[in-house]
């Protein structure tokens, strides 16, 4: 068919290509503008600030020096905390969220699916701050420790520990992990699963060879979103860590709102972004190399 | 067993929620000591005009930014499939950076960038504006919606592209061969396949914007969004009024959800028969 | 505004080129009416305020539990202006937000040690005391509580209240009777590990650590600061939390001790008499809070009206009864019941007050102190 219509189709193809280009440009224009004004411009500000110096009364003073960058190791503890707790939190979210996403995409009946899906997210219409305060109650002196105390296990401290922060993290980031995995599992053709079963593969083999690879894009998306956002988190460590668990996000809040050292804060921010970029690129290269389908990767 | 796990997961998600609901009916003052049953806090919430104003602001901002983000993000995700080379690389990088940059950083940076721009723009406007009350740019609805839309749009791009990546191309190709009109192909083949991702994107970004405290705290100017109001209320001591607010919002969302589901069912009922 | 300008604005208003609000605002008639009505509430009805066009909202930035809510309701009833409150935990944060800009705040409640810096950074406007008829400097009992508001001969801030920073102890759980900062820190690291809170900003945390050694609260000496830092970092694992919102944790029993401000100590004691407010023998902080108007306040007239309202002696007395912080205005003191005036928390004995120091402006801007705080928090 294509050979027969080739000579007739050529001008149409180039025409389509031209209007195609226009269309592409039109589709990309709004987001391009948004990216420029609300991402590039503010980041340029951060970059300029990062080579400045702290004004005597706090804030930014124009200058050109790399001292702030050379001084980054002073915040090493914060970087270390974040780089250990963020991957851990992501892993727990994945292990907790995948089964739920699987249940919703594959096992739930179509009638209930939308409701169940939205029920995952409805708690998050209750205000993050109020929910976190509920956790402060649950993990604080009147909550679980009180129950444990009644059972004879006294003096257990949950609140203001890394454990409490981890609880808060998993609780807050679960839907962010569940949704992308759900989206990629949802288009899984159930007949593939049936076929696999008919061919004699056990459920685990089916999962490993069919479901897992097909849901890989969703897993990658979910993990990346959660991990990246975790790196910048500061409210959960502050509220559930009682000011004792110090993420890079907390260091940034301190530098901008307490120490008023905006240039140094900007340098720390830039350092954070660079670390994230490097991590994400390595991660994507690694997953592409392990044989994920070309179109499955996002870059 | 999967079902049991899922029930557990939902219990985990709703445990703190049930606590919040329970204490919203606390007749005592503290949000930690249950003293008796009372609905007085709900009455207080209904009359709390500052809270209601904050709620309204949050709803407007969330809906607008989610709508804008979903629209622009989907458009960009589709367009990016047709683009190669440096343009694609740049867009990919920008998308990830938009998501990566911590809220605190983008919040402060956007604030400083906008304040500086507004100051300059306002001086210009004041000189060239005819009449006595020149248009002056301020931090407010525009700045919050704009800031939220940025992150949301990037999120939508990522989600929709993940969906496109796993889409069955043969269907689209077949449709293109059968229909002369690419728009029809888009509408009847591509779009329905993308719908779950688009809806997921809209929901997620609406939630993100409605619940955001960090960015809004910096760029809202004089406006109060609900999280900002809640945070400053919490600082003044948690009373069950806060719990009542949280419960009320959640109940309202549930009602909306169920009525939407009812509507959808009624729409599809004739097809089923 | 001279006569010709006035006529010009009047003509514009009559033509309809400018709004009534603009006319009243730009000629000052609006403010004049409002102030008149504010100082003689019985003479003018509510409609007079609508004519005054104060707007419908005023943005107040202040501290937690610092105002009687009923007073705001009264203010709204009299002027039609709703009071929108933003609350902070530390002056450093307040300063940072205002410095970044675009806040839309009309009235601020800064502490004494920050005012000089605000003025130096051109963030405050000199107060138009003519708009504050309830402000009368001759009624203040102690110049130390009002002087920080005057910089270079101009008044930038008017006195709201004063107080001390000591520590609060839940005597039901802490049976030792600590009376000094040394004991406070020793108990933190000893018998009551994991039950103490300190504030999350540099002034009181570093200051009270310095007090453990008997050094000056405001010390900027490198050696002394290094010793204070060591104490802080060593104590950190034994702290319950580093948080300026300490009341909830104290009330629900997670924490037994905390660095605390006068009024919070009073409020806690009202909730539960087991709470004791203690001023460390070695010294500590004495401070005063002020009302100020930032430059570029969008509801400037309403802001002045609010400050004036809150300074009126009867209103101020109700404020004191609510927040529990002492005031230096003699007219208010005369209206307070005897239990308040003789309350040792609000009006401590002279020998406890003597060693206390006012926070110094230099501590706000000293980068060394900021770095110590950052290292402490990240330890």
* CB–CB contact A157 C194 (8 Å): yes
Spatial separation of the C-alpha atoms in residues B208 and B204, rounded to whole Å: 6
Q: Do C370 and A260 touch (CB under 8 A)?
A: yes
- Tens-digit pLDDT profile for residues B15-29: 888 888 888 887 776
Are A38 and A104 contained in the same domain? no
What pLDDT shows up at residue C170? 92
Look at B115 and C104 and tell me if their CB atoms are within 8 Å: no
For residues B111 and B61, the model is more confident at B61
Residue C252 and residue A141: Cβ atoms within 8 Å?
yes
Query: Does some domain include residue A120?
Result: yes
What is the structure's pLDDT at A55?
81
Give the separation between CA B4 and CA B12, rounded to whole angstroms: 12
Reported as type and span, the H/E element at residue C198 is strand C196-198
In this prediction, residue B76 carries a pLDDT of 92
Range of the domain at A187: 75-298
Top pLDDT among B253 and B268 is at: B253
Please give the pLDDT value at position B238. Answer: 64
3-state secondary structure of C53: coil
Q: Is residue A60 part of a domain?
A: no
In the 8-state DSSP scheme, what is residue A64?
-
Establish how many alpha carbons lie within 13 A of residue C327's alpha carbon, considering only the half-sphere containing its beta carbon. Answer: 30
Interface of A with C (CB under 8 A): 54, 56-59, 74-75, 77-78, 137, 140-142, 157, 159-160, 242-244, 246, 250-251, 254-261
Residues of A in contact with C188 (CB under 8 A): none
The answer to whether residue A167 is domain-embedded is yes
Assess whether A199 and A246 both reside in one domain: yes
Task: Report DSSP letters for C229-257, one per residue.
Answer: HHHHHHHGGGEEEE-S--HHHHHTTS-SE
- How far is the alpha carbon of B2 from chain A, nearest alpha carbon, in Å? 7
- Evaluate whether residue A58 is within a structural domain: no
Q: Where are the alpha helices (DSSP H) in chain A?
A: 2-35, 41-50, 67-70, 76-102, 110-121, 128-139, 144-150, 162-186, 190-198, 203-206, 212-231, 235-240, 248-253, 262-289
Mutate to test the interface with A, among B7, B77, B105, B266 (most CBs of A within 10 A): B105
Contact yes or no for A244 and C252 at CB 8 A: no
User: pLDDT tens across A13-40, in order?
Assistant: 555 566 677 888 888 899 999 999 999 9
A10 lies in the same domain as A127: no
Query: Do A118 and A202 share a domain, yes or no?
Result: yes
Task: Please report the pLDDT score of residue C45 as a whole number.
Answer: 34
Joined tokens for residue C249: 């944790």
Residue ranges per domain, chain B?
51-265
Measured distance CA(C66)–CA(C112) in Å, rounded: 16
Q: What pLDDT digit, counting tens, does each position of C201-229 carry?
A: 888 899 999 999 988 888 888 999 999 99
Q: Cβ neighbours of residue C186 under 8 Å, at least 6 residues apart? A: none
How many Å apart are CA A205 and CA A21, to the nearest integer? 45
CA distance A155 to chain C (A): 11
Which residues make beta-bridge pairs with B37? B26
Of A161-165, B38-42, B227-231, C104-108, the range with the lowest mean pLDDT is: B38-42
Specify the higher pLDDT residue, A95 or B38.
Answer: A95
Which of A54, A57, A77 is opposite residue C117, by nearest beta carbon? A57
Sequence-separated (6 or more) residues with CB below 8 Å from residue C346: C262, C266, C324, C325, C326, C340
DSSP state of C85: E
Predicted complex ipTM: 0.80
pLDDT tens digits for range A46-92: 899 899 888 877 778 888 888 888 888 888 888 888 888 889 999 99
Please give the interface size between A and B, counted as residue pairs whose CB atoms are below 8 Å apart: 262
A138: chain B residues, CB-CB within 8 Å: 15-16, 19
Bridge partners of residue C329, in order along the sequence: C140
Distance from CA of C354 to the nearest CA of B (A): 31
Interface test with C, best of A249, A257, A263, A265 (most C CBs within 10 A): A257
CB contact under 8 A, A77 and C240: no
Average pLDDT, chain A: 81
Interface of B with C in 115-134 (CB under 8 A): 115, 118, 131-133
Q: Evaluate whether residue A91 is within a structural domain.
A: yes
Average pLDDT of chain C, as a whole number: 84
Same domain, A28 and A137: no
Give the Cα-Cα-Cα angle C155, C158, C164 (nearest 5 degrees).
125
* pTM of the shown model: 0.78
| Residues 115-154 in B contacting A (C-alpha not used; CB under 8 Å) | 116-117, 146-147, 149-150, 153
Tell me the mean pLDDT in the region C120-138.
90
B115 min Cα distance to partner chain C (Å): 6
Q: Which positions ≥6 away from C372 have C-beta within 8 Å?
A: C202, C206, C225, C228, C229, C232
Q: What is the pLDDT of residues C172-197, one digit of tens each?
A: 988 888 999 999 999 989 888 888 99
What is the tally of structural domains in chain A? 2
Measured CA to CA in angstroms, residue B164 lies from A18, A178, B190 at distances of: 23, 18, 9
Please indicate, yes or no, if residue A173 is contained in any of the structural domains.
Answer: yes
Q: Which one of B108, B111, B222 has the shortest CB-CB distance to C298?
A: B222
- CB-based contact C264:C247 (threshold 8 Å): yes
Total residue count of chain C as it appears in this document: 379
Residue B225 structure tokens: 């969004």
Read out DSSP for B121-169?
HHHHHHHH--SSS-----SSHHHHHHHHHHHHHHHHHHHHHHHHHTS-H
Residue C89: its chain B contacts at CB < 8 A?
A: 235
Burial class (CB in 10 A: 0-12, 13-18, 19+), B271: exposed
Mean pLDDT of A263-291: 78
Contacts of A78 (CB under 8 A, 6+ apart): A246, A247, A248, A250, A251, C378
Gap between the Cα atoms of B164 and B83, Å rounded? 14
- Taking CB atoms and an 8 Å limit, are A252 and B104 in contact across chains? yes
CATH number of the domain where residue A177 is located: 1.10.3720.10
Higher pLDDT, B3 or C101: B3
Given a contact as 3+ CB pairs under 8 Å, which chains touch A?
B, C
The domain C163-286+347-378 is placed in CATH, from the list 3.50.50.60, 3.40.190.10, 3.90.420.10, 3.60.15.10, at 3.40.190.10
Superfamily for domain range B51-265: MetI-like (1.10.3720.10)
What is the rounded distance in angstroms from the CA atom of residue B78 to the CA atom of residue A24?
Answer: 8
Q: What is the pLDDT of residues A224-266, one digit of tens each?
A: 888 888 888 888 998 888 888 889 888 888 888 888 888 898 8
pLDDT of residue B268: 53
**Contact yes or no for C374 and A251 at CB 8 A:** yes
For residue B103, which residues of chain A lie inside 8 Å, CB to CB? 232
Determine what percent of chain A is predicted with pLDDT higher than 90: 12
Clarify whether residues A161 and A289 are in a common domain: yes
Q: pLDDT tens across B124-181, in order?
A: 888 888 877 777 777 888 899 999 999 999 989 988 887 888 777 777 777 777 766 7
Q: Per the CB < 8 Å rule, is B76 touching A122?
A: no
Chain B nearest CA to A199, separation (Å): 23
Confidence of residue B104 (pLDDT cuts 50, 70, 90): confident
Burial class (CB in 10 A: 0-12, 13-18, 19+), C379: middle
User: Which residue from B minimizes the CA distance to A140?
Assistant: B32
Task: Give the number of beta-carbon pairs within 8 Å between A and C.
Answer: 88
| Beta carbons of B153 and A34 less than 8 Å apart | yes
Contact status of C86 with chain B (Cβ, < 8 Å): yes
Contact C243/A242, CB-based, under 8 Å?
yes
- Percent of chain C residues topping a pLDDT of 70: 86
Record: fold of C57-161+288-341? D-Maltodextrin-Binding Protein; domain 2 (3.40.190)
Distance CA C209, CA C215 (A): 9
Q: Does residue A177 share a domain with residue A138? A: yes
Choose among B111, B118, B221: nearest Cβ to C104: B221
- Which chain C residue lies closest to B29 (C-alpha atoms)? C271
Average pLDDT over residues C237-262: 87
Tell which residue, B234, B52, B225, B201, has the closest CA to residue B147: B225
Distance from the B17 Cα atom to the nearest Cα atom in chain C, whole angstroms: 20
Give the pLDDT confidence score for residue B224 in this predicted structure.
Answer: 85
Residue A63 belongs to some domain of the structure = no
Residues 94-133 of C with CB under 8 A from A: 95-97, 99, 117, 120-121
Report yes or no on A66 lying in a domain.
no
Specify the pLDDT at position C230.
92
Closest Cβ opposite residue C365 in set A57, A74, A243: A57
The DSSP secondary-structure symbol of C81 reads: P
Domains C57-161+288-341 and C163-286+347-378 share a fold: yes
Give tens-digit pLDDT for C24-49. Answer: 666 666 555 555 545 554 443 333 34
* B197 part of contact set with chain A, CB < 8 Å: yes
Q: Is pLDDT of A276 > 90?
A: no
* B95 vs B186: which has the higher pLDDT: B95
**For B235-249, what is the mean pLDDT?**
76
């Amino acid at each position: 068919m294509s050979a027969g219509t080739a000579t007739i189709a050529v001008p149409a193809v180039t025409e389509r290509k031209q209007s195609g280009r226009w269309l592409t440009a039109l589709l990309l224009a709004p987001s391009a503008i948004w990216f420029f004004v609300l991402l590039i411009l503010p980041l340029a500000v951060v970059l300029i600030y990062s080579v400045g110096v702290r004004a005597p009364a706090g804030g930014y003073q124009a200058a050109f020096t790399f001292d702030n960058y050379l001084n980054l190791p002073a915040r090493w503890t914060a970087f270390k905390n974040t780089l250990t707790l963020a991957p851990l939190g992501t892993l727990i979210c994945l292990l907790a969220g995948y089964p739920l996403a699987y249940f919703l995409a594959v096992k739930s009946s179509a009638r209930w699916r939308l409701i169940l899906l939205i029920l995952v997210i409805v708690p998050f219409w209750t205000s993050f701050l109020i929910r976190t305060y509920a956790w402060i109650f649950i993990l604080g002196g009147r909550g679980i420790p009180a129950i444990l105390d009644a059972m004879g296990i006294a003096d257990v401290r949950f609140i203001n520990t890394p454990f409490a922060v981890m609880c808060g993290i998993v609780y807050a980031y679960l839907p962010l992990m569940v949704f992308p995995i759900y989206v990629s599992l949802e288009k899984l053709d159930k007949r593939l699963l049936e076929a696999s079963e008919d061919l004699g593969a056990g459920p685990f083999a089916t999962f490993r060879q069919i479901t897992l690879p097909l849901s890989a894009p969703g897993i990658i998306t979910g993990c990346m979103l959660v991990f990246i956002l975790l790196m910048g988190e500061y409210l959960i460590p502050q509220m559930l860590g009682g000011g004792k668990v110090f993420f890079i996000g907390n260091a940034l809040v301190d530098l901008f709102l307490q120490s008023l050292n905006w240039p140094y804060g900007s340098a720390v921010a830039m350092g954070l972004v660079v670390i994230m970029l490097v991590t994400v690129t390595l991660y994507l290269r690694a997953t592409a190399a392990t044989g994920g389908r070309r179109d499955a990767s996002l870059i | 067993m999967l079902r049991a796990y899922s029930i557990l997961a939902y219990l985990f998600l709703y445990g703190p929620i049930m606590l919040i609901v329970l204490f919203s009916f606390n007749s005592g003052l503290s949000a930690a000591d249950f003293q008796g049953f009372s609905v007085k806090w709900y009455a207080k919430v209904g009359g709390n005009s500052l809270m209601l104003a904050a709620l309204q602001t949050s709803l407007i901002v969330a809906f607008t930014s989610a709508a804008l983000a979903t629209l622009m993000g989907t458009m960009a995700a589709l367009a990016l499939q047709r683009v190669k080379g440096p343009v694609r690389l740049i867009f990919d990088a920008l998308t990830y950076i938009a998501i990566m940059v911590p809220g605190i950083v983008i919040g402060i940076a956007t604030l400083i960038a906008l304040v500086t721009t507004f100051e300059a723009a306002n001086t210009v406007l004041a000189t060239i504006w005819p009449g006595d009350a020149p248009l002056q740019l301020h931090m407010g609805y525009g700045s919050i919606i704009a800031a939220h839309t940025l992150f949301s749009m990037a999120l939508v791009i990522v989600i929709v592209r993940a969906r496109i990546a796993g889409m069955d191309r043969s269907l689209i190709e077949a449709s293109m061969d059968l229909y002369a009109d690419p728009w029809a192909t888009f509408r009847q083949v591509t779009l329905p396949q993308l719908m779950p991702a688009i809806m997921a994107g809209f929901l997620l970004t609406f939630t993100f914007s409605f619940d955001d405290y960090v960015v809004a705290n910096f760029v809202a100017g004089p406006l109060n969004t609900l999280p900002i109001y809640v945070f400053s209320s919490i600082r003044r001591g948690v009373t069950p009024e806060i719990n009542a607010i949280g419960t009320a919002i959640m109940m309202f969302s549930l009602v909306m959800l169920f009525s939407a589901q009812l509507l959808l069912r009624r729409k599809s009922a004739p097809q089923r028969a | 505004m001279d006569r010709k300008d006035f006529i010009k604005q009047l003509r514009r208003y009559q033509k309809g080129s400018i709004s009534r609000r603009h006319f009243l605002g730009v000629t000052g008639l609006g403010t004049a009416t409002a102030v008149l009505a504010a100082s003689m509430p019985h003479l003018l009805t509510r409609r007079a305020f609508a004519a005054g066009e104060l707007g419908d909202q005023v943005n107040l930035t202040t501290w937690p539990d610092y105002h009687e809510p009923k007073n705001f309701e009264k203010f709204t009833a009299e002027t039609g202006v709703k009071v929108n409150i933003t609350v902070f935990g530390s002056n450093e944060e307040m300063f940072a937000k205002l410095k970044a800009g675009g806040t839309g705040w009309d009235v601020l409640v800064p502490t004494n040690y920050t005012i000089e810096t605000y003025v130096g950074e051109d963030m405050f406007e000199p107060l138009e005391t003519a708009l504050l008829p309830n402000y009368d400097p001759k009624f203040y009992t102690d110049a130390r509580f009002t002087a920080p508001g005057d910089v270079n001969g101009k008044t930038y801030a008017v006195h709201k209240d004063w107080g001390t920073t000591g520590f609060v102890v839940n005597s039901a759980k802490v049976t030792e009777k600590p009376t000094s900062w040394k004991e406070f820190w020793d108990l933190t690291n000893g018998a009551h590990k994991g039950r103490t809170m300190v504030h999350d900003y540099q002034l009181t945390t570093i200051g009270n650590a310095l007090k453990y050694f008997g050094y000056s609260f405001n010390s900027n000496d490198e050696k002394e600061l290094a010793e204070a830092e060591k104490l802080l970092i060593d104590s950190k694992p034994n702290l319950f939390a580093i948080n300026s919102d300490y009341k909830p944790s104290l009330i629900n029993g997670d924490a037994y001790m905390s660095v605390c401000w006068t009024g919070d100590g009073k409020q806690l004691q009202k909730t539960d008499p087991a709470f004791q407010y203690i001023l460390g023998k070695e010294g500590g902080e004495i401070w005063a809070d002020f009302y100020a108007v930032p430059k570029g306040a969008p509801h400037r007239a309403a802001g002045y009206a609010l400050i004036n309202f809150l300074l009126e002696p009867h209103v101020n007395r109700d404020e004191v009864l609510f927040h529990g912080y002492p005031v230096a205005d003699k007219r208010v003191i005369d209206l307070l019941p005897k239990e308040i005036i003789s309350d040792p928390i609000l009006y401590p004995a002279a020998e406890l007050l003597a060693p206390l120091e006012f926070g110094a402006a230099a501590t706000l801007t000293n980068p060394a102190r900021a770095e110590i705080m950052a290292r402490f928090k990240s330890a």
